A and B are shown apart, each in its own frame.
Chain A
């Protein structure tokens, strides 16, 4: 137990270190690039950097909160929960549940693939699993917040509504094609 904690601590420190090194490298490259450009185009760079500053400030006011929110979701929502509920429900309840579980602010897409694979093995409906994957990839709740901030409420609402409708249609299309092929194979 103690050993595990130690290992985790070392891993954490390594991640922070490698991240910082990368950040420093990028900062140096960007500073050189901007310095060079400033030498030739002082006006364009200073007007551009003003806009950069404005966007940078906006990002800094929202990203830390979004990331902490995602971290909190990671510790409160066990992955087994998704597995437990999504496997069983079908019909409209299944669709709604897929959407709800997909919007939870947990983890990147490559974490969702193994969950999806396990659900399929347990004979969950293909349409539900596809809807879950799609929503997980495109409509996480805190990211919708970021989209509202930078692209406006109206745009974000319309785009996510259209995306949701599309994902449901895609889910059923894939299920239809997949089942059809299985049936034909069984008939032969």
Chain B
């Protein structure tokens, strides 16, 4: 359903762009193609990883490591993992979905995807250079703390 809606919107906008400005449409298409080809290796890894998780890791094991709604160490570990890795969020979301399907609970998974986007250890050098030490440190520390708050709240609400 969501896929159909997004594809429909994209097709409409693409037709509109082609009718208005062919160069723009070409440029957009090229940039999408480059992004797609560069995303493919990561996509492949995540797809295989999802298969290996389902094939090899019994649900009980996933539940015991990622199944808690209140284990702060577990949540912090998930948040830390999200902060330091650089998986594109586009492919991290299917991975998160598969972890839930495999028995993980929403709280640690939320911590992971929230810090993945809100906290950027990998982009830290760029951020430091552009925004300076104070703002960068404040932004990332607050983002980390709030990501944990968000995931704890999700555990309560969901």
Binding site for B on A (CB under 8 A): 12, 15-16, 19-20, 22-23, 25-27, 30, 33-34, 37, 41, 44-45, 47-52, 55-56, 58-59, 61-72, 74-76, 109-110, 113-114, 116-117, 120, 126, 130, 133-134, 137-138, 142-143, 145-151, 154-155, 158-159, 162-163, 166-167, 169-170, 173-174, 177-178, 181
CA distance in complex: A134, B150 (Å): 14
B100 at the interface (CB under 8 A from A): yes
Given contacts A126-B135, A137-B120, A158-B154, 12 further A-B contacts (CB under 8 A): A41-B56, A48-B53, A58-B94, A59-B91, A62-B6, A65-B9, A65-B11, A70-B31, A113-B123, A113-B126, A116-B131, A145-B2
Residues of A within 8 A of B44 (CB): 23, 26-27, 30
Q: Complex: how many Å from CA A171 to CA B77?
A: 25
B76 contacts the other chain (CB 8 A): no
- Shortest Cβ distance from A78 into chain B, in angstroms? 12
Name A68's contact: one of B32, B94, B147 (CB within 8 Å).
Answer: B32
B55 touches A48 (CB 8 A): yes
Contact B3 A120 (CB under 8 A): no
A-B interface contact total, Cβ < 8 Å: 226
Which of B7, B29, B91, B158 is within 8 Å of A154, CB to CB?
A: B158
Contact B131 A72 (CB under 8 A): no
B contact residues around A56 at 8 Å (CB): 43, 47
CB distance from B133 to the nearest CB of A (A): 12
Contacts of A126 in B (CB 8 A): 135
> Given the complex, which residues of A lie within 8 Å of B97, measured CB to CB?
55, 150-151
Contact, CB under 8 Å: A174 / B50 = no
Please classify how large the interface on chain B is, using the bins under 10, 10 to 19, 20 to 34, 35 or more.
Answer: 35 or more
Tell me the minimal C-beta distance from A122 to chain B in angstroms: 14
Q: How far is the CA of A58 from the CA of B33 in the complex (A)?
A: 19
Q: Are A138 and B117 in contact (CB under 8 A)?
A: yes
Bound-complex Cα distance A50 to B89 (A): 23
CA distance A65 to B8 in the complex (A): 9
Nearest residue, chain A, Cβ from B116? A138
Contact, CB under 8 Å: B30 / A114? no
Q: Is the CB of B30 within 8 A of A12?
A: yes
Check B131 against A113 for contact (C-beta < 8 Å): yes
Once the chains bind, are B131 and A159 in contact (CB under 8 Å)?
Answer: no
Residues of A contacting B48 with CB < 8 Å? 30, 33-34, 52
Q: A117-B130, A145-B5, A170-B139 are in contact. Are A49 and B29 (CB under 8 A)?
A: no
Q: Do B123 and A110 have beta carbons less than 8 Å apart?
A: yes
Contact assessment for A55 and B50 in the assembled complex, using a CB-CB cutoff below 8 Å = yes
User: B28 near A71 (CB under 8 angstroms)?
Assistant: yes
Residues in chain B near residue A33, CB distance under 8 A: 48
Checking A16, A44, A134, A178 against B134 with a beta-carbon cut-off of 8 angstroms, the contacting residue is: A178
Partner of A150 from the list B11, B17, B94 (CB cut-off 8 Å) is B94
